[in-house]
Structure 1
Amino acid sequence: MAVLKVIEVLSSSEKSWEDATRKAVAKASQSLKNIRSVYVQDQSASVKNNEVTEFRVNLKVTFEIE
């Protein structure tokens, strides 16, 4: 029987929400093993001088506990 844990992670990117998600998974995988899935809970963007300057995501990362 597998036991899973969920943590919340925030990430940002100047490119896209997808890039912010990939960065979060890459960084989380440096300290977490067996990541099973991510759920994008929330998306937002920072605006400066009428232009989007940063894409932000709030993720729930699910991983298996050994």
Structure 2
Amino acid sequence: RISKDPQSVAARHRRERISDRIRVLQRLVPGGTKMDTASMLDEAIHYVKFLKLQLQVCDTCNLVPVD
């Protein structure tokens, strides 16, 4: 039985949105679909940090004049 209580409806909607976002993140993180949620979130943190570092390296390379 699904509750019609506005608070329950809002909580269910919030859980559904979180689940949807987790699924999107799982597809974006390398190997994310093969991990449990906690491991995937951990990996997402490492992956974002790695990508930020890659951007910094690229920015640094673009500042060096090429002859």
- Provide TM-score, normalisation by structure 2: 0.31
Larger fraction in strand: 1
Return the structure number with greater relative CO, CA threshold 8 A, min gap 6.
Answer: 1
* Max Rg structure: 2
Larger fraction in helix: 2
- Provide TM-score, normalisation by structure 1: 0.31
